[in-house]
Amino acid sequence: MSEVLAYKPVLEVRDLRVSFHVREGEVQAVRGVDFHVNPGEVLGIVGESGCGKSVTAQTLMRLIPSPPSRIKSGSVRFLGEEVLLKSEKEMQQLRGSKMGMIFQDPMTSLNPTMTVGRQITENLKKHLKMSSAAAQKRAVEMLKLVGIPGAETRIHQYPHEFSGGMRQRVMIAIALSCDPALLIADEPTTALDVTIQAQILEVLNDLRGRLNTSIILITHNLGIVAGICDRVVVMYGGQVAETGTVKEIFNHPKHPYTEGLLKSLPRLDTSKDEPLIPIHGAPPDLVNPPTGCAFTPRCPYAMKICQRLDPGLIDCGGTQAARCWLNHPKVQEAKA
């Protein structure tokens, strides 16, 4: 644990650029992304499909197939070491021990031919060099921790004997078994029903207090972010549109896209008479990303400069920063 706390931040991503090559040309999926994760915090990465959030996550774990993808530039420092320079062998050491991960579909990430218990113990024996007996004990503990009833008997069962929600719990147990410094959860509840989703979020919420693991939660659901995350990165068109604490982002969004997302969705507590204000148009084509700000063609506040120049992330006070010209002192001066 002290080893983890020695690094602040746990993970630091700088100017990450990832592209895919398809017949139409180069899809610039991630176009210069910066963010960091502090020890013990839950960072949410939100955005729509194609915004680059999953590609970013897969790049952090170096799970992105190459070709067709190519990491063009940038740096990912995890516990002080450069991830992008590691060999596949070193990455295998890292994944499942210091860096845990859970995915959207737990069925494809569990081995159907191995009992659930064995999948946890293998991991423990491989990474922590535990004895069989110790690993077995730890596996039962982990299953109990994620709320699987009858853990002692269930470790002898195979993945198909578990429901979707229970499988996701198993995935979490496996991911956390080696006490990782970072857990990357890529849409962990998207395939689940709401009542099961609530169970899984409860498990994650419960664990964050007890373990010293930082979590990156990738989702398209703003409600989940509001409920569980400390800080948020909002992604749009392969870039960070806005970042800040949950309170900053939800109470005072400084990017028109974030604002648009919050206004365009009906909430359970919105009345029927309140109109929804949709975001017009569609996300940008990342084969030919627009010059200037990527959100300009959909932005209700668009100005001439937005078409010409990308503002970069502008500090908005506190920990908040947004990629929008409206936050530039010069613009605020002119608009006042």
Partner 1 sequence: MSVPLIEVNHLHKDFHLGRGRTLKAVRDVGFSIRKGETLGLVGESGCGKSTVGRTLLRLYEPTAGEFLFEGQNVYSLSRAEMKAMRRDMQMIFQDPYASLNPRLTIGDSIGEALDVHQLVRSQKERKARIGELLELVRLRADYANRYPHEFSGGQRQRIGIARALAVNPKFIICDEPISALDVSIQAQVINLLKDLQRKMGLTYLFIAHDLSVVKYISDRVAVMYLGKLVELADSETLYRDPLHPYTRALLSSVPIPDPDVEAHKDKVIIKGDLPSAINPPSGCPFRTRCPLAQQICAEEMPPLAEHRPGHFAACHFAGADPA
Partner 2 sequence: MASNTRDSLQAHSSSLEWRDDIFRPDDFEDIDVYRSPGPDLQRESISAWRDAWLRLKSNRMAMFWLTILLIIVIMSIVGPLLTPYDYYTNDLMNTNKPPSAEHWFGTDDLGRDMFERVWMGATISLRVGLFAALIDLFIGVIYGGIMGYFGGRVDEIMNRAAEILYSIPHILIIILLVVIMTPSLFTIVLALGLTGWVNMAWIVRGQIMQLKNMDYVMASRSLGASSARIIFRHLIPNTLGPILVTLMLTVPSAIFAEAFLSFLGLGVQSPAASWGTMISDARSAMTVFPWRLFFPAAFISLTMLAFNLFGDGLRDAFDPKMRK
- Residues forming the site for partner 2 (CB under 8 A): 15, 22-24, 32, 34, 73, 280-282, 296-299, 301-315, 321, 328-331, 334-335
User: How far separated are the first and last CA of the chain, in Å rounded?
Assistant: 50
Which of 154, 153, 181 minimizes the C-alpha distance to 167? 154
Residue with tokens 């975001």: 279
The beta-strand segments (E) located in 114-238 are 182-186, 214-219, 231-236
Question: Which among partner 2, partner 1, none contacts residue 329 (Cβ within 5 to 8 A by kind)?
Answer: partner 2
- Residue 134 contacts partner 1 per CB under 8 A: no
Distance of closest approach, residue 193 Cβ to partner 1, in angstroms: 4
Q: What track of x and - describes contact with partner 1 for positions 20 through 59 (by CB under 8 A)?
A: ----------------------------xx----------
Sign (positive or negative) of CA dihedral 147, 151, 155, 157: negative
Distance (Å, rounded) from C-alpha 17 to C-alpha 175? Answer: 27
Sign (positive or negative) of CA dihedral 79, 240, 243, 175: negative
When binding is defined by CB under 8 A, the residue of 113, 275, 333, 336 that contacts partner 1 is: 275
Residue range at the interface with partner 1 (CB under 8 A); choices 88-96, 176-184, 261-269, 322-330: 261-269
Distance of closest approach, residue 200 Cβ to partner 1, in angstroms: 10
Beta strand 239-245 with 231-236: parallel, antiparallel or unpaired? Answer: antiparallel
Which of 246, 217, 221 minimizes the C-alpha distance to 42? 217
Residue number, 7 or 250, with CB nearest to partner 1: 250
Q: Which of residues 298-317 bind partner 1 (CB under 8 A)?
A: 298
Interface with partner 1 (CB under 8 A): 48-49, 163-166, 193-199, 201-202, 220-227, 246-247, 250-251, 257, 260-262, 264-272, 275-280, 282-283, 298
